[in-house]
């Protein structure tokens, strides 16, 4: 409630205190939330090492969003942390835990050869697998497949009709969760 400001004044520091209490009681979601706080400086000074530590606590307990967050940090984070091979490893784990975002990021890494050799076949499989998963990133997965059809990538011929079908599906999903 403190984090979102529901029925109380928004207070990230108070939220962090409650997340730490919940984490000490075993809440994997609280561990993830603490990682988010350290990564985004919500209620605490940004500390990527602390964020990684909290995400890893949740990831070892098979928390998909935390595992994907680790992949994102290793793929896009500061130079001293960036490690494309580790990113691929975490994306693979998170994708196996049904994270659509992780599946899209894994596909992108496979397509571009980031941390792994280029593998168009596996990339294509992961892009399409991402569209079958249901989370906050499913719309992005549908949009990614639309661009594949639009550009004719990964051995798929250009097909503007299929591209528009996937793009419309993405828009419907975005509307359903209030993004547009």
Q: What is the pLDDT of residues 54-112, one digit of tens each?
A: 999 999 999 999 999 999 999 999 999 999 999 999 999 999 999 999 999 999 999 99
Asked if residue 154 lies in contact with residue 148, where contact means CB atoms within 8 angstroms, the answer is yes
Asked if residue 159 lies in contact with residue 142, where contact means CB atoms within 8 angstroms, the answer is no
Q: What is the pLDDT of residues 137-179, one digit of tens each?
A: 899 999 999 999 999 999 999 999 999 999 999 999 999 888 8
Residue 168 in any domain: the answer is yes
Residue 135 in any domain: the answer is yes
Residue 165 in any domain: the answer is yes
pTM score of the predicted model:
0.89
Which CATH number is 148's domain given?
1.25.40.10
Report the alpha-carbon distance of residue 58 to residue 73 in Å, rounded: 15
Q: Which domain holds residue 166?
A: 90-180
Residue 56 in any domain: the answer is no
Residue 51 in any domain: the answer is no
Task: Report how many domains make up the chain.
Answer: 1
Residue 73 in any domain: the answer is no
């Amino acid at each position: 409630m403190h984090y979102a400001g529901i029925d109380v004044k928004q207070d990230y520091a108070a939220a962090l205190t409650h997340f730490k209490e919940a984490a000490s009681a075993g809440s994997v979601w609280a561990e993830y939330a603490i990682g988010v706080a350290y990564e985004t400086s919500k209620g605490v000074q940004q500390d990527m090492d602390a964020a990684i530590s909290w995400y890893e606590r949740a990831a070892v307990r098979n928390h998909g969003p935390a595992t994907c967050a680790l992949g994102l940090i290793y793929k896009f984070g500061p130079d001293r942390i960036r490690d494309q091979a580790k990113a691929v490893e975490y994306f693979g784990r998170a994708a196996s835990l049904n994270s659509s975002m992780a599946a899209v990021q894994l596909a992108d890494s496979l397509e571009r050869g980031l941390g792994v050799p280029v593998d168009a076949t596996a990339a294509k499989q992961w892009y399409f697998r991402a569209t079958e998963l249901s989370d906050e990133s499913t719309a992005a997965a549908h949009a990614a497949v639309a661009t594949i059809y639009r550009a004719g990538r990964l051995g798929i011929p250009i097909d503007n009709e299929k591209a528009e079908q996937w793009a419309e599906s993405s828009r419907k999903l975005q509307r359903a969760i209030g993004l547009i």
